[in-house]
Amino acid sequence: MKTTQDILTSIQHKPQFKKILHHKCINKLLSTILPAIRRNIKHGYINKNVLYIIITAALNKYDKDNIIKTIKGVLNSPMILKSEHFIECDDINIEDVIVYVDHKPKMTTDLHTTFTHQITYTERASGDININIKDEKLHALAQSIQEIIKKEHNESS
Domains of the chain: 4-102 (3.30.300), 122-157 (no CATH)
Has residue 114 got a pLDDT over 70?
A: no
Strands 41-47 and 50-56: antiparallel
Give the number of other CB atoms < 10 A from CB of residue 89: 21
Chain segment 25-60, per-residue pLDDT in tens: 888 888 888 888 888 888 899 999 899 998 888 778
Q: Give the tens place of pLDDT for each residue, 57-102.
A: 877 888 888 888 888 888 888 777 777 777 777 778 888 999 988 8
* Residue 52, number of CB atoms within 10 A of its CB: 16
Band of residue 139 on the pLDDT scale cut at 50, 70, 90? very high
Contact in structure between 102 and 55 (CB atoms under 8 Å): yes
- Beta carbons of 56 and 42 less than 8 angstroms apart: yes
Angstrom distance (rounded) from CA 133 to CA 138: 7
